[in-house]
Structures are given as structure tokens and as C-alpha cells.
Amino acid sequence: MDYRNLGRTGCAVSTLTLGTMTFGKETDEHAAHEQLDAFFEAGGNLVDTADVYTTGVSEEVVGHWLAQRPADVRDRAVVATKGRFPMGDDVNDLGLSRRHLQRALDASLRRLGVDCVDLYQVHSWDPVTPLEETLATLDDMVRAGKVRYVGLSNYTGWQVQKTMALAERHGWHAPVTLQPQYNLLVRELEWEIVPSCLDAGLGLLPWSPLGGGWLTGKYTRDQRPTGATRLGENPERGVEAYDRRSAQQRTWDVVDAVREVADGRGASMAQVALAWLADRPAVTSVILGARTSEQLADNLGAAGLYLDADETARLDAASDPGAADYPYGGPGIAQRGRTVDRSQ
């Protein structure tokens, strides 16, 4: 397992993160603890959860595991959680207000059984709460010793830039990471979000790295999903999502390219997709979302897989989202007429 700094911090985290969204729902506590044990035995140390995952049960499962492990294992764990979405019916039980975030963090700390969380992330943008209120609250949490670092999740490029500029202006502890959806089928964030993060020094923690199962090869052109798959277990929404993705030729170009690289390497398609993503600019750690120990074991095989330039180029070409010439593709307005000789 390789390690990278968490954004601009000195905290080292594994290039693969164990996501826990399935804990307490698709993965029971015993199986979840097996996954956590296997992840740490493989050298992983970053665990990502959220209060809204199974309405707090995921955090409780992680907390029980931490409490039952020896001190050296607990000390290795870098725990990340998130707050933003409703955990109840009260009108103030959601958003990024000071009131909600303070209560949400305290509840997360109780469920996790810790005094301080390593990374506290706001789960998405809040268009109602003033950004100053949110950032001041996060800064207070760090100064109070309840949070070591703060991060963002599901922010756009302009939201990242506004957040970082405001934090710098007031001298508040600025976010160090962004958690976005990112994979070979979802690359549009490379147009503005990734450049924003590179400019601000934020590390990316991509979720859904396997595209909801598409990049594992489990879906085919001629058969809609059924049964124990992400799409098959929800027939109505699953079929709609399958039909929408399946109708795009680019989907099958990507799947075929991943399969070809995997066959050439003697690796699984999931390992190839994860290895490609872990090597993208700004990526700190890729969040694994395995439902079973078998899936996790396969995913962890990506830790020692490094694609060569030809393999990467093959995947890049097949997955190119096809930016229009303006404003993201081609020379653009900013480059027109720039003929200055910079060789001297």
C-alpha cells in the first residue's frame, strides 16, 4: 500500500480508503468488522463514513470496531466522517448552519466513540446558510480539538474557489480535501473541479470509483441487471439507470478498454479502473465501496498495480467525455494571438 499526504497536511493516508456506506444495511456488523480488519492488514488506514449512512449505524459499526481493537490499531486509523443531510424531521436538522453542524459533529463523535475526528467533511453545498457561518463553525471545531482537518464533498469548481478564498481572507482553517464522484465514466469534473483543487492544493477522495459496478464488467449490452447488483436490486430505478448508461456508446468503449487492459495484465477490471483513478492528478486516496469481503479483497489488489503509459492512454482515449471546443476544448480565447517567444 502506498501513502500520500492528505491534501496540504502532513498526515499520511493510504491511497485506498475504506468506504462504509454499506455498513449496517447491505453489510452487517460482523462482515463490516471483517472488512475493516482486512483493510488494515493490507496497510490501509483511512476510513470514510458519514452520519447519514444508515442513519448513524455506519458510524456506530466503525466505533464498535475501534473500541474492540488494540491501541496500536486504533492509533493507526485515520477516521473521516461527514455532516449536512437530515438525521431527523426538525426544520433545523439539516444544512451547514452552526446549530446543525455542532449537533451533528457531537452526535458523530458519540457514535464513533472518539473525542476527535481526523477529517470532518461538509457533505454538500448549502445554498441557504451563509458560507461565513459554515467556515467559522468548522474553524471553531478545529480550535476546540474536536476536528483535526476539514474537507468538502460534492462541491463544484466555483464553490471550491469561493470557499478557499473566504477561508484565507479570514484566517480560518481551510478545507484540505474534496470528495467528488470520479471514475472512467464520470470525468467531466476534470474541466473545472480538478483544476480548482490543484490550484487550491486540495486532495481528491473520489467516491464511486467503479461507476456503480459498470467498470467491473458485471453489466452487459443485451441483458438488463437483476438480483444482487447495484442496479438489479432496485428494478424501477435500476432499469432506468441501466438504460440511460447503456444507450451511450462511450460506456461500452470504456468497458471494453478496461477489459482489454485487465486481460493483458492478468488483473480484474475493478483493479484496473481503481489503478487508473489513483494515478490521476490531485487524487489522494480512492474510496472503495465493497459490499462483501470478497469484493474488498479484489479491490485491494489495485494497491500494487501501476499502469504503463500505453495502458493509461488507451483508457484515457476510450473514456474521453468529449469536451466541446469552447470553453474547455481547443485553444480557447485566452490563447488567441499569444505568439510571444518564451524560449529565451
Is residue 82 very low, low, confident or very high in pLDDT (cuts 50, 70, 90)?
very high
pLDDT score, position 324: 61
pLDDT score, position 224: 67
pLDDT per position as a tens digit, 169-210: 999 999 999 999 999 999 999 999 999 999 999 999 999 999
- 256 membership: H or E segment, kind and range: helix 249-265
Is residue 328 very low, low, confident or very high in pLDDT (cuts 50, 70, 90)?
confident
Give the total residue count for the chain.
344
pLDDT score, position 227: 58
Q: Lowest mean pLDDT of 21-35, 179-193, 212-226, 260-274, name the range.
A: 212-226
pLDDT score, position 72: 94
Query: 223: burial class by Cβ within 10 Å (0-12, 13-18, 19+)?
Result: exposed
Is residue 231 within 8 A of residue 38, CB to CB? The reply is no
Whether residue 340 is predicted with pLDDT greater than 70 in this model: the reply is no
Nearest to 212 by CA among 190, 182, 179: 182
Whether residue 57 is predicted with pLDDT greater than 60 in this model: the reply is yes
pLDDT per position as a tens digit, 249-284: 899 999 999 999 999 999 999 999 999 999 999 999
**Which residues make beta-bridge pairs with 288?**
18
pTM confidence score: 0.91
Q: Which CATH superfamily is domain 3-213+272-308 in?
A: NADP-dependent oxidoreductase domain (3.20.20.100)
Task: Name the grid cell of 134.
Answer: 459554515
For the segment 212-229, the average pLDDT, to the nearest whole number, is 78
d(CA 281, CA 263): 25
Nearest to 288 by CA among 225, 199, 221, 210: 210
Lookup result for grid cell 475493478: 270
Show me where the domains of the chain are located. Answer: 3-213+272-308
Cα angle value 274/275/277 (rounded, 5°): 65
pLDDT per position as a tens digit, 315-325: 999 999 987 66
For the segment 129-155, the average pLDDT, to the nearest whole number, is 98
d(CA 294, CA 282): 29
Q: Is 53 a catalytic residue?
A: yes
pLDDT score, position 229: 57
Q: Of 3, 53, 149, 219, which one is the catalytic site residue? A: 53
For the segment 209-221, the average pLDDT, to the nearest whole number, is 92
Is residue 258 within 8 A of residue 315, CB to CB? The reply is yes
Contacts of 225 (CB under 8 A, 6+ apart): 218, 219, 231, 232, 238, 239, 242
Whether residue 331 is predicted with pLDDT greater than 70 in this model: the reply is no
Nearest to 63 by CA among 29, 35, 94: 29
Is residue 7 within 8 A of residue 22, CB to CB? The reply is no
For the segment 118-145, the average pLDDT, to the nearest whole number, is 98
Whether residue 97 is predicted with pLDDT greater than 70 in this model: the reply is yes
For the segment 75-96, the average pLDDT, to the nearest whole number, is 94
